[in-house]
Amino acid sequence: MTAPVLSRLEHRALEAAGLGAIRDKVVAGERLSREDGLALYQGADLLAIGALANRVREARHGDAAYFIVNQHINHTNVCIAGCKFCAFYRTAKQKDAYTLSPEDVERRMRQHLDEPIREIHMVGGVNPALPLQYYVDVIRAMKRVRPDVHVKAFTMVEIAAMAETFEKPVEEILLTLKEAGLGSLPGGGAEILTDHAHQVLFKGKIDHRAWMEVAKTAHRVGLRSNATMLYGHVETLDERIDHMLALREAQDETRGFMAFIPLAFHPENTRLSHIPKPSAADDLRQLAVGRLMLDNFPHIKAYWIMMTPRVAQAGLHFGADDLDGTVVTEEIFHKAGAVSPQLVARQRLVDLIEEAGRVPVERDTLYRPVADLMPVAAGSRAAGPDPLVPPAVRVPSPASEAGMAH
Ligand code: V47
Protein backbone atom coordinates (compact mmCIF):
# COMPACT_ATOMS: atom_id res chain seq x y z
CA MET A 1 0.00 0.00 0.00
CA THR A 2 1.29 3.48 -0.82
CA ALA A 3 1.71 5.93 2.04
CA PRO A 4 -1.22 8.25 2.70
CA VAL A 5 -0.52 11.82 1.64
CA LEU A 6 -2.08 14.63 3.67
CA SER A 7 -2.53 18.24 2.67
CA ARG A 8 -0.83 20.94 4.74
CA LEU A 9 -4.19 21.96 6.12
CA GLU A 10 -4.98 18.39 7.22
CA HIS A 11 -1.53 18.13 8.80
CA ARG A 12 -2.14 21.25 10.81
CA ALA A 13 -5.70 20.36 11.79
CA LEU A 14 -4.51 17.05 13.23
CA GLU A 15 -1.69 18.78 15.08
CA ALA A 16 -4.11 21.35 16.49
CA ALA A 17 -6.45 18.55 17.57
CA GLY A 18 -3.64 16.94 19.57
CA LEU A 19 -3.50 14.04 17.12
CA GLY A 20 -0.11 14.82 15.60
CA ALA A 21 1.52 11.67 16.95
CA ILE A 22 -1.26 9.48 15.57
CA ARG A 23 -1.01 11.28 12.23
CA ASP A 24 2.72 10.59 12.09
CA LYS A 25 2.23 6.91 12.86
CA VAL A 26 -0.42 6.57 10.17
CA VAL A 27 1.71 8.33 7.59
CA ALA A 28 4.67 6.09 8.51
CA GLY A 29 2.48 2.99 8.18
CA GLU A 30 2.80 2.16 11.88
CA ARG A 31 0.10 0.33 13.74
CA LEU A 32 -2.14 2.31 16.10
CA SER A 33 -2.44 1.29 19.74
CA ARG A 34 -5.45 0.95 22.03
CA GLU A 35 -4.70 4.44 23.42
CA ASP A 36 -4.58 5.84 19.90
CA GLY A 37 -7.97 4.33 19.22
CA LEU A 38 -9.43 5.94 22.32
CA ALA A 39 -7.90 9.29 21.39
CA LEU A 40 -9.60 9.02 17.99
CA TYR A 41 -12.96 8.39 19.66
CA GLN A 42 -12.44 11.28 22.06
CA GLY A 43 -10.84 13.80 19.70
CA ALA A 44 -13.01 16.84 19.13
CA ASP A 45 -12.11 17.42 15.50
CA LEU A 46 -14.20 14.87 13.63
CA LEU A 47 -13.30 16.33 10.26
CA ALA A 48 -9.57 16.03 10.90
CA ILE A 49 -10.01 12.39 11.96
CA GLY A 50 -12.18 11.76 8.91
CA ALA A 51 -9.54 13.34 6.66
CA LEU A 52 -6.86 11.05 8.06
CA ALA A 53 -9.03 7.98 7.48
CA ASN A 54 -9.90 9.28 4.04
CA ARG A 55 -6.24 9.56 3.07
CA VAL A 56 -5.65 5.96 4.19
CA ARG A 57 -8.65 4.88 2.16
CA GLU A 58 -7.40 6.77 -0.89
CA ALA A 59 -3.91 5.31 -0.56
CA ARG A 60 -5.47 1.84 -0.71
CA HIS A 61 -8.32 2.28 -3.15
CA GLY A 62 -7.90 5.66 -4.86
CA ASP A 63 -11.33 7.01 -5.72
CA ALA A 64 -12.91 3.58 -6.18
CA ALA A 65 -16.10 2.93 -4.24
CA TYR A 66 -17.45 -0.59 -4.43
CA PHE A 67 -20.97 -1.94 -4.56
CA ILE A 68 -22.69 -5.18 -5.50
CA VAL A 69 -26.06 -6.18 -6.90
CA ASN A 70 -27.36 -8.60 -4.30
CA GLN A 71 -30.45 -10.16 -2.81
CA HIS A 72 -31.00 -10.74 0.89
CA ILE A 73 -33.02 -13.68 2.11
CA ASN A 74 -33.78 -14.39 5.77
CA HIS A 75 -34.72 -18.05 5.77
CA THR A 76 -36.18 -18.19 9.28
CA ASN A 77 -37.06 -15.79 12.07
CA VAL A 78 -37.32 -18.55 14.64
CA CYS A 79 -34.52 -18.11 17.14
CA ILE A 80 -33.67 -19.38 20.57
CA ALA A 81 -30.91 -16.87 21.32
CA GLY A 82 -33.16 -14.07 22.62
CA CYS A 83 -30.75 -11.20 21.97
CA LYS A 84 -31.94 -7.95 23.54
CA PHE A 85 -31.03 -5.83 20.53
CA CYS A 86 -32.99 -7.93 18.05
CA ALA A 87 -36.40 -6.93 16.67
CA PHE A 88 -36.56 -9.82 14.26
CA TYR A 89 -36.61 -13.05 16.18
CA ARG A 90 -39.71 -15.01 17.14
CA THR A 91 -40.19 -18.11 19.25
CA ALA A 92 -41.39 -21.14 17.32
CA LYS A 93 -44.86 -20.77 18.86
CA GLN A 94 -45.47 -17.16 17.85
CA LYS A 95 -48.04 -16.54 15.14
CA ASP A 96 -45.67 -14.75 12.83
CA ALA A 97 -42.81 -17.24 13.15
CA TYR A 98 -41.74 -18.54 9.75
CA THR A 99 -39.23 -20.78 8.04
CA LEU A 100 -38.79 -20.75 4.30
CA SER A 101 -38.55 -24.10 2.57
CA PRO A 102 -35.88 -24.60 -0.10
CA GLU A 103 -38.73 -24.21 -2.61
CA ASP A 104 -39.72 -20.86 -1.05
CA VAL A 105 -36.13 -19.69 -1.40
CA GLU A 106 -36.08 -20.84 -4.98
CA ARG A 107 -39.32 -18.95 -5.68
CA ARG A 108 -37.96 -15.76 -4.17
CA MET A 109 -34.92 -15.97 -6.35
CA ARG A 110 -36.93 -16.69 -9.50
CA GLN A 111 -38.84 -13.42 -8.92
CA HIS A 112 -35.59 -11.59 -9.62
CA LEU A 113 -34.19 -13.61 -12.49
CA ASP A 114 -34.19 -10.59 -14.79
CA GLU A 115 -31.88 -8.67 -12.44
CA PRO A 116 -28.10 -8.99 -12.55
CA ILE A 117 -27.83 -10.39 -9.04
CA ARG A 118 -24.38 -11.74 -8.22
CA GLU A 119 -24.74 -12.50 -4.55
CA ILE A 120 -27.33 -14.01 -2.26
CA HIS A 121 -26.86 -12.90 1.34
CA MET A 122 -28.77 -15.31 3.53
CA VAL A 123 -28.94 -15.35 7.32
CA GLY A 124 -31.55 -16.45 9.83
CA GLY A 125 -32.24 -17.15 13.45
CA VAL A 126 -30.84 -20.04 15.48
CA ASN A 127 -33.61 -22.52 14.75
CA PRO A 128 -32.74 -25.94 16.20
CA ALA A 129 -35.67 -27.61 14.44
CA LEU A 130 -33.88 -27.52 11.09
CA PRO A 131 -31.79 -30.54 10.06
CA LEU A 132 -28.38 -30.17 8.41
CA GLN A 133 -29.92 -31.38 5.16
CA TYR A 134 -32.14 -28.28 5.15
CA TYR A 135 -29.12 -25.99 4.84
CA VAL A 136 -27.59 -28.17 2.14
CA ASP A 137 -30.89 -28.22 0.24
CA VAL A 138 -31.32 -24.45 0.48
CA ILE A 139 -27.85 -23.81 -0.92
CA ARG A 140 -28.41 -26.35 -3.70
CA ALA A 141 -31.75 -24.73 -4.54
CA MET A 142 -30.03 -21.38 -4.92
CA LYS A 143 -27.38 -22.82 -7.18
CA ARG A 144 -30.06 -24.52 -9.26
CA VAL A 145 -31.79 -21.20 -9.92
CA ARG A 146 -28.58 -19.24 -10.53
CA PRO A 147 -25.56 -21.49 -10.93
CA ASP A 148 -23.16 -18.54 -10.99
CA VAL A 149 -24.50 -16.74 -7.95
CA HIS A 150 -22.20 -16.37 -4.95
CA VAL A 151 -23.88 -17.71 -1.82
CA LYS A 152 -22.76 -15.69 1.21
CA ALA A 153 -24.69 -17.31 4.01
CA PHE A 154 -24.86 -18.21 7.70
CA THR A 155 -23.08 -16.25 10.39
CA MET A 156 -20.52 -17.70 12.78
CA VAL A 157 -23.40 -17.92 15.26
CA GLU A 158 -25.48 -20.10 12.97
CA ILE A 159 -22.49 -22.28 12.08
CA ALA A 160 -21.65 -22.78 15.77
CA ALA A 161 -25.28 -23.67 16.48
CA MET A 162 -25.28 -26.23 13.67
CA ALA A 163 -22.10 -27.78 15.04
CA GLU A 164 -23.70 -28.07 18.45
CA THR A 165 -27.08 -29.36 17.26
CA PHE A 166 -25.66 -31.90 14.83
CA GLU A 167 -22.78 -32.83 17.14
CA LYS A 168 -20.17 -32.33 14.46
CA PRO A 169 -17.00 -30.24 14.40
CA VAL A 170 -17.35 -26.74 12.99
CA GLU A 171 -14.91 -27.64 10.25
CA GLU A 172 -17.08 -30.53 9.09
CA ILE A 173 -20.18 -28.33 8.98
CA LEU A 174 -18.32 -25.72 6.95
CA LEU A 175 -16.95 -28.30 4.53
CA THR A 176 -20.40 -29.83 4.06
CA LEU A 177 -21.89 -26.43 3.25
CA LYS A 178 -18.96 -25.50 1.03
CA GLU A 179 -19.41 -28.72 -0.90
CA ALA A 180 -23.09 -27.79 -1.41
CA GLY A 181 -22.07 -24.41 -2.88
CA LEU A 182 -21.47 -22.00 0.01
CA GLY A 183 -19.08 -19.29 -1.19
CA SER A 184 -18.35 -17.19 1.92
CA LEU A 185 -19.74 -16.12 5.28
CA PRO A 186 -21.32 -12.78 6.16
CA GLY A 187 -19.99 -10.80 9.09
CA GLY A 188 -23.03 -10.83 11.35
CA GLY A 189 -23.40 -12.07 14.89
CA ALA A 190 -20.18 -10.51 16.16
CA GLU A 191 -22.04 -7.69 17.93
CA ILE A 192 -19.42 -6.49 20.43
CA LEU A 193 -16.72 -9.08 21.01
CA THR A 194 -16.41 -8.70 24.79
CA ASP A 195 -17.61 -10.63 27.84
CA HIS A 196 -19.53 -7.61 29.18
CA ALA A 197 -21.58 -7.08 26.02
CA HIS A 198 -22.18 -10.83 25.77
CA GLN A 199 -23.51 -11.00 29.32
CA VAL A 200 -25.74 -7.97 29.01
CA LEU A 201 -27.05 -8.39 25.48
CA PHE A 202 -26.75 -11.81 23.96
CA LYS A 203 -25.85 -14.44 26.49
CA GLY A 204 -28.11 -16.91 24.67
CA LYS A 205 -25.60 -17.25 21.87
CA ILE A 206 -21.89 -17.86 21.45
CA ASP A 207 -19.34 -15.52 23.00
CA HIS A 208 -16.46 -13.74 21.31
CA ARG A 209 -14.02 -16.62 21.67
CA ALA A 210 -16.35 -18.99 19.86
CA TRP A 211 -17.26 -16.40 17.20
CA MET A 212 -13.61 -15.87 16.40
CA GLU A 213 -12.85 -19.57 16.42
CA VAL A 214 -15.56 -20.24 13.84
CA ALA A 215 -14.32 -17.32 11.71
CA LYS A 216 -10.76 -18.59 11.78
CA THR A 217 -11.88 -22.12 10.99
CA ALA A 218 -13.86 -20.81 8.03
CA HIS A 219 -10.82 -18.94 6.77
CA ARG A 220 -8.69 -22.06 7.21
CA VAL A 221 -11.03 -24.14 5.05
CA GLY A 222 -10.92 -21.50 2.33
CA LEU A 223 -14.09 -19.57 3.07
CA ARG A 224 -13.59 -15.85 3.41
CA SER A 225 -15.85 -13.76 5.61
CA ASN A 226 -16.72 -10.27 6.76
CA ALA A 227 -16.87 -8.94 10.30
CA THR A 228 -19.52 -6.62 11.70
CA MET A 229 -19.63 -4.54 14.86
CA LEU A 230 -22.98 -3.52 16.34
CA TYR A 231 -22.45 -0.20 18.10
CA GLY A 232 -24.44 2.45 19.89
CA HIS A 233 -26.14 0.42 22.65
CA VAL A 234 -24.60 -0.58 26.01
CA GLU A 235 -20.99 -0.88 24.90
CA THR A 236 -18.20 1.44 26.06
CA LEU A 237 -15.64 2.97 23.74
CA ASP A 238 -13.08 0.63 25.30
CA GLU A 239 -15.20 -2.29 24.20
CA ARG A 240 -15.36 -1.01 20.64
CA ILE A 241 -11.57 -0.92 20.68
CA ASP A 242 -11.39 -4.42 22.17
CA HIS A 243 -13.62 -5.58 19.33
CA MET A 244 -11.43 -4.08 16.64
CA LEU A 245 -8.19 -5.25 18.25
CA ALA A 246 -9.53 -8.81 18.37
CA LEU A 247 -10.42 -8.64 14.69
CA ARG A 248 -7.05 -7.15 13.79
CA GLU A 249 -5.21 -9.90 15.64
CA ALA A 250 -7.26 -12.63 13.98
CA GLN A 251 -6.73 -11.03 10.60
CA ASP A 252 -2.96 -11.06 11.12
CA GLU A 253 -3.31 -14.79 11.54
CA THR A 254 -5.69 -15.78 8.74
CA ARG A 255 -6.08 -12.85 6.29
CA GLY A 256 -9.57 -14.20 5.76
CA PHE A 257 -11.65 -11.11 6.50
CA MET A 258 -12.69 -9.00 3.53
CA ALA A 259 -14.65 -6.13 5.04
CA PHE A 260 -15.31 -4.54 8.41
CA ILE A 261 -18.92 -3.40 8.70
CA PRO A 262 -19.89 -1.15 11.61
CA LEU A 263 -23.65 -1.49 12.15
CA ALA A 264 -25.45 1.39 13.84
CA PHE A 265 -27.89 0.09 16.43
CA HIS A 266 -31.57 0.61 15.60
CA PRO A 267 -33.44 0.51 18.91
CA GLU A 268 -37.03 0.53 17.59
CA ASN A 269 -39.09 -2.55 18.45
CA THR A 270 -36.30 -4.01 20.58
CA ARG A 271 -36.01 -4.42 24.33
CA LEU A 272 -33.57 -1.51 24.23
CA SER A 273 -35.99 0.95 22.64
CA HIS A 274 -35.15 3.56 25.31
CA ILE A 275 -31.61 3.93 23.90
CA PRO A 276 -31.23 6.74 21.35
CA LYS A 277 -29.89 5.87 17.90
CA PRO A 278 -26.26 6.67 17.19
CA SER A 279 -25.88 10.07 15.55
CA ALA A 280 -24.57 10.64 12.03
CA ALA A 281 -21.41 12.01 13.66
CA ASP A 282 -20.97 8.75 15.57
CA ASP A 283 -21.52 6.75 12.36
CA LEU A 284 -18.89 8.74 10.48
CA ARG A 285 -16.41 8.63 13.32
CA GLN A 286 -16.88 4.86 13.65
CA LEU A 287 -16.11 4.38 9.97
CA ALA A 288 -12.98 6.51 10.35
CA VAL A 289 -11.76 4.77 13.51
CA GLY A 290 -12.42 1.40 11.88
CA ARG A 291 -10.34 2.35 8.87
CA LEU A 292 -7.47 3.62 11.01
CA MET A 293 -7.39 0.80 13.56
CA LEU A 294 -8.02 -2.07 11.15
CA ASP A 295 -4.94 -1.53 9.03
CA ASN A 296 -5.05 -5.12 7.76
CA PHE A 297 -8.70 -5.05 6.59
CA PRO A 298 -8.91 -4.27 2.90
CA HIS A 299 -12.45 -2.91 2.96
CA ILE A 300 -14.57 -0.76 5.25
CA LYS A 301 -18.24 -0.96 4.43
CA ALA A 302 -20.75 1.84 5.01
CA TYR A 303 -23.91 -0.25 4.99
CA TRP A 304 -26.48 2.20 3.69
CA ILE A 305 -29.45 0.28 5.09
CA MET A 306 -28.26 0.95 8.60
CA MET A 307 -26.62 4.34 8.12
CA THR A 308 -29.12 5.73 5.63
CA PRO A 309 -27.95 6.36 2.07
CA ARG A 310 -26.94 9.94 2.88
CA VAL A 311 -24.66 9.13 5.80
CA ALA A 312 -23.20 6.15 3.92
CA GLN A 313 -22.48 8.48 1.01
CA ALA A 314 -20.63 10.90 3.32
CA GLY A 315 -18.87 7.84 4.74
CA LEU A 316 -17.07 7.50 1.41
CA HIS A 317 -14.99 10.46 2.65
CA PHE A 318 -14.53 9.08 6.18
CA GLY A 319 -12.68 5.88 5.37
CA ALA A 320 -15.36 3.71 3.76
CA ASP A 321 -14.79 2.29 0.28
CA ASP A 322 -17.90 0.12 -0.06
CA LEU A 323 -21.67 0.69 0.20
CA ASP A 324 -22.70 -3.00 0.18
CA GLY A 325 -25.42 -3.65 -2.34
CA THR A 326 -28.81 -3.14 -3.86
CA VAL A 327 -30.22 -5.44 -1.16
CA VAL A 328 -33.25 -6.53 -3.09
CA THR A 329 -35.34 -7.96 -0.27
CA GLU A 330 -33.82 -6.67 2.92
CA GLU A 331 -36.31 -6.98 5.73
CA ILE A 332 -34.08 -7.10 8.74
CA PHE A 333 -33.76 -3.45 9.61
CA HIS A 334 -37.24 -2.46 8.60
CA LYS A 335 -38.52 -4.45 11.54
CA ALA A 336 -36.23 -2.36 13.73
CA GLY A 337 -37.47 0.85 12.16
CA ALA A 338 -34.81 1.65 9.56
CA VAL A 339 -36.16 4.24 7.17
CA SER A 340 -34.13 3.17 4.17
CA PRO A 341 -36.14 1.83 1.25
CA GLN A 342 -36.22 -1.88 0.63
CA LEU A 343 -34.55 -1.60 -2.69
CA VAL A 344 -32.06 0.92 -3.88
CA ALA A 345 -31.55 0.20 -7.53
CA ARG A 346 -28.11 -0.21 -8.97
CA GLN A 347 -28.36 3.21 -10.59
CA ARG A 348 -29.08 4.84 -7.27
CA LEU A 349 -25.89 3.40 -5.79
CA VAL A 350 -23.97 4.63 -8.81
CA ASP A 351 -25.54 8.08 -8.27
CA LEU A 352 -24.68 8.09 -4.56
CA ILE A 353 -21.08 7.25 -5.33
CA GLU A 354 -20.70 9.72 -8.18
CA GLU A 355 -22.34 12.52 -6.21
CA ALA A 356 -19.67 11.90 -3.56
CA GLY A 357 -16.98 12.41 -6.20
CA ARG A 358 -15.96 8.76 -6.19
CA VAL A 359 -15.76 6.22 -8.99
CA PRO A 360 -18.33 3.40 -8.79
CA VAL A 361 -16.90 -0.09 -9.14
CA GLU A 362 -19.42 -2.90 -9.35
CA ARG A 363 -17.89 -5.94 -7.69
CA ASP A 364 -18.57 -9.53 -6.87
CA THR A 365 -18.59 -10.81 -3.28
CA LEU A 366 -14.83 -11.30 -3.28
CA TYR A 367 -14.28 -7.69 -4.43
CA ARG A 368 -13.31 -8.58 -7.97
CA PRO A 369 -14.51 -5.80 -10.27
CA VAL A 370 -17.28 -6.99 -12.51
CA ALA A 371 -16.25 -6.76 -16.12
CA ASP A 372 -19.57 -7.34 -17.83
CA LEU A 373 -21.46 -4.34 -16.47
CA MET A 374 -25.19 -4.62 -17.08
CA PRO A 375 -26.87 -1.60 -18.68
CA VAL A 376 -28.55 0.64 -16.16
CA ALA A 377 -32.34 0.88 -16.30
CA ALA A 378 -33.37 3.99 -18.23
CA GLY A 379 -35.12 6.68 -16.21
CA SER A 380 -34.24 5.29 -12.81
CA ARG A 381 -32.80 8.68 -11.85
CA ALA A 382 -36.22 10.31 -12.20
CA ALA A 383 -38.10 7.59 -10.38
CA GLY A 384 -40.18 9.70 -8.02
CA PRO A 385 -40.36 12.74 -5.79
CA ASP A 386 -37.78 11.37 -3.34
CA PRO A 387 -34.73 10.17 -5.24
CA LEU A 388 -33.71 7.96 -2.34
CA VAL A 389 -36.89 5.94 -2.56
CA PRO A 390 -36.87 3.38 -5.33
CA PRO A 391 -39.62 3.28 -7.95
CA ALA A 392 -41.15 0.13 -6.55
CA VAL A 393 -40.58 -2.55 -4.02
CA ARG A 394 -40.71 -5.46 -6.36
CA VAL A 395 -41.40 -8.34 -4.03
CA PRO A 396 -44.42 -8.33 -1.82
CA SER A 397 -43.17 -9.14 1.67
CA PRO A 398 -45.69 -11.09 3.66
CA ALA A 399 -45.38 -10.08 7.29
CA SER A 400 -44.95 -13.75 8.09
CA GLU A 401 -41.72 -13.79 6.14
CA ALA A 402 -40.14 -10.53 7.27
CA GLY A 403 -36.94 -10.71 9.13
CA MET A 404 -33.97 -9.76 11.34
CA ALA A 405 -31.24 -12.24 11.91
CA HIS A 406 -27.77 -12.86 13.22
O1 V47 B 1 -25.66 -9.76 13.29
C2 V47 B 1 -29.47 -7.04 14.74
C3 V47 B 1 -27.30 -6.69 13.50
C4 V47 B 1 -26.62 -8.08 11.87
C5 V47 B 1 -30.06 -5.00 15.00
O6 V47 B 1 -21.34 -9.49 5.81
C7 V47 B 1 -28.90 -5.01 14.26
O8 V47 B 1 -21.61 -8.26 4.07
C9 V47 B 1 -28.90 -2.76 14.16
O10 V47 B 1 -24.52 -8.96 9.59
N11 V47 B 1 -30.02 -2.66 14.88
C12 V47 B 1 -27.04 -8.73 10.56
N13 V47 B 1 -28.31 -3.91 13.85
C14 V47 B 1 -26.60 -7.90 9.36
C15 V47 B 1 -25.21 -8.26 8.93
C16 V47 B 1 -24.68 -7.74 7.65
C17 V47 B 1 -25.29 -6.68 6.99
C18 V47 B 1 -24.78 -6.25 5.79
C19 V47 B 1 -23.69 -6.87 5.19
C20 V47 B 1 -23.10 -7.92 5.85
C21 V47 B 1 -21.94 -8.61 5.21
C22 V47 B 1 -23.57 -8.36 7.08
O23 V47 B 1 -27.48 -7.04 12.16
C24 V47 B 1 -26.71 -8.92 13.12
C25 V47 B 1 -26.69 -7.88 14.19
O26 V47 B 1 -25.39 -7.53 14.55
N27 V47 B 1 -28.55 -6.29 14.13
N28 V47 B 1 -30.40 -6.26 15.28
C29 V47 B 1 -30.64 -3.74 15.32
N30 V47 B 1 -31.76 -3.65 16.04
Q: What is the pLDDT of residues 268-307, one digit of tens each?
A: 999 999 999 999 999 999 999 999 999 999 999 999 989 9
Name the CATH code of domain 64-377 (choices 3.20.20.70, 3.90.209.20, 3.30.2020.30, 3.20.20.140): 3.20.20.70
Q: Which residues contact 34 (CB under 8 A, 6 or more apart)?
A: 241, 245
Q: How far is the CA of 4 from the centre of ligand 1 (A)?
A: 31
Task: Give residue ranges with CB within 6 A of ligand 1.
Answer: 85-87, 186-189, 191, 226, 228, 230, 261, 263, 265-266, 270, 303, 306, 324, 336, 404, 406
Nearest protein Cα to ligand 1, atom 7? 265
376 has pLDDT over 60 = no
Q: In this predicted structure, what is the pLDDT of residue 218?
A: 98
Q: State residue 112's pLDDT score.
A: 83
Q: What spacing in Å lies between the alpha carbon of 404 and ligand 1's midpoint?
A: 8
Domains of the chain by residue range: 8-61, 64-377
Q: Is 328 within 8 Å of 115 (Cβ atoms)?
A: yes
- CB under 8 Å to 202, separation ≥6 — which residues? 81, 83, 84, 85, 191
| More reliable by pLDDT, 393 or 225 | 225
pLDDT of residue 396: 29
Confidence of residue 231 (pLDDT cuts 50, 70, 90): very high
pLDDT in the model for residue 37: 98
pLDDT, tens only, 27-83: 999 999 999 999 999 988 999 999 999 999 999 999 999 999 999 999 999 999 999
Residue 87 neighbours by CB under 8 Å, 6+ apart: 266, 268, 269, 270, 335, 336, 337, 404
347 pLDDT band (50/70/90 cuts)? Answer: confident
Site to substitute for ligand 1 among 230, 308, 334, most atoms within 8 A of C-beta? 230
Tell me how far the alpha carbon of residue 406 lies from the centroid of ligand 1, in angstroms: 6
Of all residues in the chain, the percent with pLDDT exceeding 90 is 81
Q: Which residue CA neighbors atom 30 of ligand 1 most closely?
A: 266
Q: What pLDDT band is residue 100 in, cutting at 50, 70 and 90?
A: very high
Task: Please list, in sequence order, all residues whose beta carbon lies within 8 angstroms of the beta carbon of residue 94, skipping any fewer than 6 positions away.
Answer: none
Q: What separation in Å is there between the alpha carbon of 123 and the centre of ligand 1?
A: 10
Name which residue sits closest to atom 16 of ligand 1, judged by CA.
188
Tell me the C-alpha distance between 170 and 217, whole Å.
Answer: 7
